[in-house]
Structure 1
Amino acid sequence: MSKSVALHTLGCKLNFSETSSIGRLLEQDGFVKKDFDEVADVYVINTCSVTENADKECRYLVRRIQSKAPEAMVVITGCYAQLKPKEIAEIPGVDLVLGAAEKFNIVQHLKEISKGDATKICSCDIEDVNTFTASYSQNDRTRTFLKVQDGCDYNCSFCTIPMARGKSRSDSIESVLNSVQQLAASGVKEVVLTGINLGDYGKGYTGGKKHEESFFNLIQELDNVEGIERYRISSIEPNLLTNDIIEFVSNSKRFMPHFHIPLQSGSNKILGMMRRRYKRELYAERVGLIKTLMPHCCIGVDVIVGFPGETEEDFKETFDFLHSLDISYLHVFTYSERDNTHALTLQPVVPINIRNERNKQLRNLSYQKMQYFTQQHIGEARKVLFERNSRNNMMEGYTDNYIKITTPYNAEWVNNITTWTI
C-alpha cells in the first residue's frame, strides 16, 4: 500500500519552489500527496527563520500533527532546521531534521528511520554547503516559482540567511533554460524567477563545472524561450538592479513591468547600521529610471521598522522618503531579534509597541500607494492571467503590471491571458 505525504511551506517563494520539488521527489518514490489538513503517513514542514513568528508557527504545526496523526513521521527542513537543529529535535513529535545540504535527500533519509526512533538530525556546517539544486513549483498555481540562485555573500546586520543557506551559488543558464522548456511544455504561462540574492546570479557549480554568468545574460536568454508568456523578477537588490536590466525589461515582451526592490530603510544612517550596500539616493535613482521608461510599472518595496537605533527622526525620514517615491506597495517587516546577528549588539533597542505602531503607519501608506497606483490605470485594457484557485465561485488574476483582478469564476479564463478593462 502506498504511503502518503503532506507538505507545508513557511516563508518565501524560494521555499515554496523547494517544497514543490521535495514533493515531486517523494511522489516519484511512490508517495501519494495529501493536503496538509488531511491525515497522512509523513508530514514535511519547510521552515523559514526570518522572523520569530516562523519559529513559533513551526512548533504550532507540529502540535497540530501530533493531535490528528500521532503515528505520522514528522520531518522539518529549511532555514530554521539549518540554524537550530537541536532546538527543533527537542520538539515532541519531530522525527527527522534535515539541514540545507540534506533536504533533497529526504527519500533516502525516510528509508533509514522508523517512528519511535530517537530524532535524527542530518545537518552540516553551512560552509560545506556549496552545491545548487534546481527546484520549481508546479501544479500548485498558474504562476511557477523557479529557483535560479541560492545563498548570499552579503552580511546584513539583521539577517540569518547566509548562516541558513550558505554562500551565493546559482544554476547554469543552460540548466535554467532546460527547466523553463519543461515548464512551457507542461502548460505553464508565467515563471517567477526566485533566489535569495537574485541579482547576484552567476556564481556557482553545475555538474562539477564552474560557471560565471550574469543575471542580465540569463534574462536575455529566457526572453527567447517559446511557450512562456510571462516572467517576473521576484526581488532584486537595488545595487544589483543595473540600468541594463531595467532597460531590457522595458523593451521585453515577456518580462512584466513589475519590480520588487528591497529598501529596508529610508535613512542612510540606519542603512549603514544595517550594513546595506547602497544609500537612499541610489534607490531613488533606480525608481526614477524605471518610471521614466515604464510609467505603468508596479514597484514593490521591502522595509523594516524598529531596527535598533531607529529614532523618531529616522522613521520619519523613511516614511517621508517612501511617501515621495513613485512606488506601488510595501512589504513591511517589524524588526525581530535573531541569534548570532550583529544587530543584537546595537543600541538603543526600540520598544515593541513603537515597532508595531511604525509598522501600522507604513501599512496604511502601502494601502494608499496601491489605491493610487490602481486608480491611475482605471479604464485601461491590460492583459490578465487568471489562476486556477477559486473561492466562493470567484477567481483572481494579475495584470501584467501586478494589479489584482477579482471576478466571478469562468473556467475558460483559467491559465489563459485575457484582455481586461480595469
Structure 2
Amino acid sequence: MKKVAFYTLGCKLNYSETSSISRMFEQKGYQKVAFNEQPDIFIINTCSVTDNADKKCRKIVREAQGINPNGYVAIIGCYAQLKPQEISEIPGVDAVLGAAEKFRLIDLLDGFVKAPVAQPGRVMASPIEEAVDYHVSYSLNDRTRTFLKVQDGCDYPCAYCTIPLARGKSRSDTVENVVKAAHEIAARGVKEIVLTGVNIGDFGLHDGKRTETFFELVQALDEVEGIERFRISSIEPNLLTDEIIAFVAQSKRFVPHFHIPLQSGSNKVLGLMRRRYRRELYVDRVTKIKELMPDCCIGVDVIVGHPGETKEEFLETYNFLNELPISYLHVFTYSERPNTLAVDIKPVVPQSQRAERSKMLHILSDKKRRAFYEGQLGTERTVLFEDEVVDGNMQGFTENYVRVTAKYDPLLINEVKRLQLIEINAEGQVEVREVETEVFHH
C-alpha cells in the first residue's frame, strides 16, 4: 500500500479540493499520511495570489526530498496552471498538472514512477480554456466545520488578478448537488458549513448559461437538517443583493457574518482595478446589513499599493474604512503578477510605501475587531466549540464570528452552546459565562 501526503498553500477553496483529492486516493487503496511520515507520494497544491508562490513551492519540494529522496512529487493548483514549465524544472519535481488535469491525477500519473534524476518533471497542463468541468469538493479534516466548494473560476477581469488565468471561466455545481453534499457532510456530524468558491455570488452558471442563482442555493441550503450553521465565505458587493441580505437576517441556519471584498475605498483606484462597483454601492451594502442585523460581523478585503494608488487615495481608503461599521480587514499588499493588466499601470508604488500602508491597515483592523468585540460584551450568543486545546483552554466562534475561549471540557467539543460574552482577555479573545446552568461542570 503506497503512502501519500498532501500540502496545501493558499485559500479555503484549495483546502476543499485537496481534501477531495485525498479521498480519491484513499478510495483507490492508498494510505494517507502526514507530510513527515515518509510518504511514497507528495502532492503539493499551490497558490498564485502573491509573488512568493515560487519560493514557497521550491521550499516544500526541498522539504519533501529531505523526508524521502525517492518520493514522487506532483504539483497541482493555480501556480501549476500559470507556470508549469518553470515548476517542472525545479529539482525533485516529477509532474505538474494544470486545472483541467488535477482531479484525474491518479489515472494520469499511472503508478507514480519517478523519472531519471536529470530529467525535468512531466507537464500535463492544457490551456485554461479546457478547464470546463466542475468537481464537487469539500474538506473533512475538521469535524466542527467544513469548506464546501459551490463555484469555481471567474469571468471578472480585475486588473491585479491571475485567478481567471489559473482557474478558468466561472462555472458552478447545481443546487441539487450542493444540497446532496450538505446532507453527506451533516451525516458525518459536522455542525458548520462554510460556502466557498472563487466568485460565489456568480453561482448558477452551467456551460456559460445561467440556470440557477446564489439566492436559490441559499434558500435550499437553509432547509438542510443536521447542519446548524451556514457561513458565506466571501461575496462581491455587486452580487450581494438585498434579497440575500434580507433572507440571511431571518434565516434558520445562515449566520450574520459577511465577508465582502472592497479592495479600495477610492473610486479612482477601483476604476484602475477594473472593479464592478464604486464605494457608494459598498456603503449601501454595509448600511443595509447593519440595518437588518445590527450585530452582524462584516469582514473586508483590501489591497494596498496597487499601481496608480497615490498617498491621498490610500488615505481616502483608510478614512473610508475607519468610518464604516465593519469588523475586521484582510489586508493584501499588491504584488506584480505577469499577464495582468495592472503591470502596465504607472506610477508603481515603491515597496516601502506598500509596507507602510499595509501596517497602517493592520493596526486599523485590530482596532475595528476590538471595537466589534467590545460591542458584543454582555450579549448572549451561540458558540460552536472546536477540537483544539491550547494550555487547557478550547476555542470557538459565535454565530457572528467572535472568537471565544473557555476551559477545556470534552463534552463541549463540536457542540453549539448558548453563552454570555463577558470580557476580552489579554490575547484578544472573549471570555464566556454559562447561560444554562448545565453547560460547564468544573
Q: 1:243 to 1:211 in 2, by over 3 A?
A: closer
2:96 matched to which residue of 1? 97
1:288 aligned residue: 287
Who is 2:144 aligned against? 142
Alignment partner, residue 35 of structure 1:
34
Q: CA deviation at 1:139?
A: 3.1
Unaligned runs of 5+ residues in structure 2 are 422-442
Partner of residue 164 from structure 1, selected from 149, 159, 166: 166
Post-superposition offset of 1:109: 2.4
Give, as a single letter, the amino acid of the residue that structure 1 aligns with 2:321: L
Where does structure 1 lack aligned partners over 5 or more consecutive residues? Answer: none
Correspondence list, 1:4-403, <5 A: 4-117=3-116, 118=119, 119-205=121-207, 212-403=211-402
Deviation at 1:74, TM superposition (A): 0.7
CA contact (8 A) 2:41 2:112 kept: no
Name the SS of the counterpart of 1:37 in structure 2.
coil
- Offset of residue 228 of structure 1: 0.8
Q: Answer yes or no: is the 8 Å Cα contact 2:5–2:34 preserved in 1.
A: yes
Aligned AA (1:169): R
User: For residue 175 of structure 1, what is the amino acid of its counterpart?
Assistant: N
Shift of 1:406: 2.1
- The CA deviation at 1:142 is 1.5
State the 1:112 CA deviation. Answer: 4.8
Moved more, 297-306 or 114-123: 114-123
Is residue 406 of structure 1 aligned with residue 408 of structure 2? no
| Contact map agreement 1:200 1:214 (CA 8 A) in 2 | yes
Q: For residues 362-420 of structure 1, what are the alpha-carbon distances to aligned partners after superposition, in whole Å with 9 as ceiling and x for unaligned?
A: 00000000000000011211101111122333322100000011223211111110112
CA contact (8 A) 1:132 1:204 kept: no
Q: What count of residue pairs does the alignment treat as equivalent?
A: 418
* CA deviations over 1:273-324 (Å, ceiling 9, x no partner): 0000000000000000000000000000000000011111000000000001
Q: Return the alpha-carbon distance in structure 2 between the equivalents of residues 38 and 54 of structure 1.
A: 24
CA distance in 2, matches of 1:97, 1:377: 48
Deviation of 1:38 after TM superposition, in Å, equals: 2.6
Contact 1:48 1:55 in 2 (8 A): no
Partner AA of 1:15 in structure 2: N
TM-score, length basis structure 2: 0.93
Which one is further off, 37-46 or 83-92? 37-46
Structure 1: distance between partners of 2:62 and 2:274: 38
Deviations 1:302-349 (A, max 9, x none): 000000111110000000000010000000000000000010000010
* 1:157 CA drift (Å): 0.4
Report Cα offsets for 1:243-287 as digits up to 9, x if no partner: 000000000020000000000000000000000000000000000
2:42–2:74 CA contact under 8 A, matched in 1:
yes
In the aligned structure 1, how far is the partner of 2:75 from the partner of 2:282? 37
**Partner of 1:350: helix, strand, or coil?**
coil
Secondary structure of the residue aligned to 2:260 is: strand
Matches of 2:145 and 2:97 in 1, distance apart?
A: 28
Equivalent residues of 2:145, 2:193 under 8 A apart = yes
1:164 aligned counterpart, secondary structure:
helix
- What is the CA-CA distance between 1:121 and the residue it aligns to? 1.1
Q: CA RMSD in A?
A: 1.3
Q: Which moved more, 1:111-120 or 1:71-80?
A: 111-120
Change in CA separation of 1:34 and 1:161 when aligned onto 2, cut-off 3 Å: same
Letter of the 1:286 counterpart: R
- Name the aligned partner's letter for residue 38 of structure 2: V
Equivalent pairs: percent with the same residue? 59
SS in 1 for 2:245: helix
Give, in angstroms, the shift of residue 225 of structure 1. 1.0
CA distance in 1, matches of 2:334, 2:210: 36
Residue type at the aligned position of 1:260: H
Distance 1:210 1:112 in 2: 39
Output the CA distance in 2 between the equivalents of 1:375 and 1:297.
Answer: 14
Looking at structure 1, the residues matched to 34 and 392 of structure 2 have their Cα atoms a distance apart, in angstroms, of 21
Q: By how many angstroms is 1:210 displaced?
A: 6.9
Q: Distance in 2 between matches of 1:47 and 1:234?
A: 20
Cα separation, partners in 2 of 1:140 and 1:4, compared to 1, 3 Å: farther
- Structure 2 Cα separation of the partners of residues 23 and 211 of structure 1: 31
Offset at residue 113 of structure 1 (A): 4.2
The answer on whether the counterparts of 1:77 and 1:98 sit within 8 Å (CA) in structure 2 is yes
Secondary structure in 2 aligned to 1:55? helix
| Conserved? CA contact 1:172–1:211, under 8 Å | no
Contact kept, 8 Å, 2:143 with 2:414, in 1: the verdict is no
- Counterpart AA for 1:343: A
Distance (whole Å) between structure 1 residues aligned to residue 414 and residue 149 of structure 2: 21
- Please state how far the C-alpha of 1:215 moved relative to its aligned partner: 0.1
Question: Residue 111 of structure 1 aligns to a residue in which SS?
Answer: coil
Describe the SS at the equivalent of 2:195: strand
Letter in structure 2 aligned against 1:122: M
Q: CA separation in 1, counterparts of 2:343 and 2:209?
A: 37
